[in-house]
Copies of this chain bind each other. A is one copy, B any other.
């Protein structure tokens, strides 16, 4: 089953939610909106932050906002932020690992072509593409009543 990490998938959900406005949102808020558990949201946000995909505002009333415009964030960026380098095999040029056969393997480097093709495919699609006609989030938040009083107050924009 060739697939992306579940956390990567979630990261995309979070980013898409955040793409709906440029206000700063707390992890709590985003968690409620998406249904993804709070600690998990926090963890993912940290990864995204390090990669610069989101900006953080610390302190009371703080939270996260997109680090750059949706059209400048590619799926490849998200994967790399959460999972690390995209390297289909241990011997790929983008990898830092090594395989046990590496010394004698005649396939050495042959995967690079595939690797590049996949990366190109992942770089083609941006957050903006995926955000197209996504209306609002699901059938409304989860349980707890809308908890955005605090954050709404200091929404920097709009």
**B3 x A89 contact (CB < 8 A):** yes
Q: How far is the CB of A108 from chain B (nearest CB, A)?
A: 9
Q: How far is the CB of A118 from chain B (nearest CB, A)?
A: 5
Docked pose: A123 CA to B81 CA in angstroms: 26
Say if the beta carbon of A113 comes within 8 Å of chain B: yes
Say if the beta carbon of A73 comes within 8 Å of chain B: no
Given contacts A16-B107, A113-B129, A118-B121, 20 further A-B contacts (CB under 8 A): A1-B84, A2-B80, A2-B83, A3-B88, A3-B95, A6-B90, A9-B89, A9-B90, A13-B105, A16-B106, A16-B110, A75-B114, A106-B135, A106-B137, A107-B130, A110-B134, A111-B130, A117-B122, A118-B122, A121-B121
